Amino acid sequence: MEALLTTARSWSSQDPDDETRAELDTLVSSAASGDAAAADSLRERFSGRLTFGTAGLRAELGAGPQRMNRVVVTQAAAGLARFLIDTGRDRSVVIGYDGRVNSDVFARDSAEVMRGLGLEVTLLPSALPTPVLAFAVRHLGVGAGVMVTASHNPPRDNGYKVYLGGEDDGSQIVPPVDGEIAAAIDVVAAGDVRELARATDYTVAGDALVQAYVDATAATVPAPSLPVDAQPTVVYTAMHGVGWETARAVFAAAGFAEPAVVPEQIEPDGAFPTVSFPNPEEPGAMDLAIARGVAVGADLVIANDPDADRLALAIPDGSGSFRRLSGNEVGWLLGWRAAARAEEAGTGGTLAASIVSSPALARVAEHHGLAYRDTLTGFKWVSRVPDLVFGYEEALGYLVDPAVVRDKDGISAALALLDLAVSLAAAGKTIADELDAFAVRFGAFASGQVATRVDDLSRIGEVMAALRAAAPTTLGGRTVSQVTDYADGVEGFPPSDILRYDLDGGARVIVRPSGTEPKVKVYIDTVAQSPAEAQALVDALAADVRPLVS
């Protein structure tokens, strides 16, 4: 215990944040006095350090190397700077931040430390969406970009996402670069952050950079075919995030009517007072937006997550309320739109989706004469597909114009949906009609998920091992025709802890550990003659799969 207390006191001495320093000092004092809970908390916080991976950093705010705080962020900033210098990359970086607690503080710390190490540093002028930062990496031609955000994580979380310029073309980092940056951070972490040089003569970007994003995004759609007073009625929520002002400017620049907003959620608020989990996928997260949609008689309800890189959509359900479309349904619609435009323009290209997303997009690509690629989960992989026309992940991430942003972008995706909705309205149709037309053209697809949360992480390995030892031969009344274990290496993919079961009739089940939560996740995809038949098969497969992963 004495060694742990010494380590904690040393950490506290270099922490520039009064709140986390006081938090740690209280834990140290209580643990030294025999408080078992305080001692356990210290052990957990100092059991290692946050792992810097392909998602960068993400964790709960708090003191110690297993939390997000100013010491951890300073170490990460210095390590990233050292990586850029040591690998001969462009010694320039642009830094953005969202409206979460301490995002602005972490961004300024990063700017000062990186500038102190000699990098050319540009800080975005205010709390802005992640897509603006991703755009800025390419627009400014810098070596790297940092976005301080925890995206749609719980309110007390924050994070640190890294993009690379140059040959990486503004995409998020992938292996082995993440490991190289992590190694550089470890070197910094062996010292004291108070010894790092800091400088404040970095550049703060002007409004022209944000306007460049607005103009480039607005230009991704044609002028609306209906005047603003004849366009569908739309409700928008920023979910207490930073999406609204930028989205509003983009919609206006492109000629679309301004949506009605959810006033309780429209301004950035790191406390997220109306949602316990600010993720549009979570049950209840869109309740206020849907209530607003009912009140104004909306044709569409759209939601960005707090950093506006994801998009959710709800449409009238015919009974006076709304139903939220799945990420796959939105992906089908946007992919079909993109493929039709590419075919009409004669440009060719590739559609792409992560392997846990619906196989429907492959049919769209085939119908329109385009190539198709599956990728590993994570938009860092989708965005790197050559000749990409459109890419998506079922977790509400859509890349509608790779020439503007090489990452998922909830604002440009919202604009594409507005364009689609207006075009349909001009022809007397709705988004629901387009979903029906999709089923007629490509087949009735349906998807679902089963997730098992574990208290002991070793249980995840046990579940995957059991499935490998005894693969099911039937699921949902269908024969398992093929089992693919991505751990063995599959062409085009690095070895991964993923199991795929292809069933007679075109259904598919994929099992993998979650990359961000203590869960085993199962993704179910079916196709049938009717939506009801496809959904019934999803339900039957879910019933059979659930005990296998429990």
Catalytic residue among 41, 92, 103, 151: 151
- pLDDT tens-place string over residues 116-150: 999 999 999 999 999 999 999 999 999 999 999 99
Q: SS3 of 96, please?
A: strand
pLDDT recorded at residue 348: 93
Express as a percent the part of the chain with pLDDT over 90.
Answer: 93
Alpha carbon distance 415, 218 (integer Å): 8
pLDDT bin (cut points 50, 70, 90) of residue 494 is confident
pLDDT recorded at residue 285: 95
Label the pairing between strands 57-60 and 157-164.
antiparallel
pLDDT recorded at residue 456: 85
pLDDT recorded at residue 493: 87
> Is the pLDDT confidence value at 515 over 90?
no
Give residue 119's Cα distance to chain centre.
28
Count CB atoms within 10 A of the CB of residue 50.
22
Per-residue pLDDT, averaged over 382-400, amounts to 96
> Is the pLDDT confidence value at 416 over 70?
yes
SS3 track for 39-63:
HHHHHHHCCCCCCCECCEEEEEECC
Considering only the top CATH level, what class is 226-442? Answer: alpha beta
Alpha carbon distance 107, 273 (integer Å): 24
| pTM for this entry | 0.95
- pLDDT tens-place string over residues 140-183: 999 999 999 999 999 999 999 999 999 999 999 999 999 999 99
Number of H helices, E strands in the chain: 17, 22
pLDDT recorded at residue 384: 95
> Is the pLDDT confidence value at 372 over 90?
yes
Give residue 222's Cα distance to chain centre.
27
pLDDT recorded at residue 429: 98
Mark whether 151 is an active-site residue. yes
pLDDT bin (cut points 50, 70, 90) of residue 516 is low
pLDDT recorded at residue 52: 87
**Same fold for the pair 52-205 and 444-548:** no
Residue 235 corresponds to which amino acid?
V
pLDDT recorded at residue 345: 94
Residues 6+ apart with CB under 8 A from 540: 476, 477
How far apart, in Å, are the Cα atoms of 228 and each of 223, 237, 252, 417? 11, 20, 10, 15
Count CB atoms within 10 A of the CB of residue 540.
17
The CATH architecture assigned to 444-548 reads: 2-Layer Sandwich (3.30)
pLDDT recorded at residue 54: 74
Mean pLDDT of the residues in the chain: 96
Residue 333 corresponds to which amino acid?
L
Considering only the top CATH level, what class is 52-205? Answer: alpha beta
- pLDDT tens-place string over residues 247-268: 999 999 999 999 999 999 999 9
pLDDT recorded at residue 489: 80
Per-residue pLDDT, averaged over 28-55, amounts to 92
- pLDDT tens-place string over residues 297-336: 999 999 999 999 999 999 999 999 999 999 999 999 999 9
> Is the pLDDT confidence value at 339 over 70?
yes
What is the residue extent of each domain of the chain? Answer: 1-47, 52-205, 226-442, 444-548
- pLDDT tens-place string over residues 184-227: 999 999 999 999 999 999 999 999 999 999 999 999 999 999 99
> Is the pLDDT confidence value at 471 over 70?
yes
Read off the DSSP letter of residue 403. T
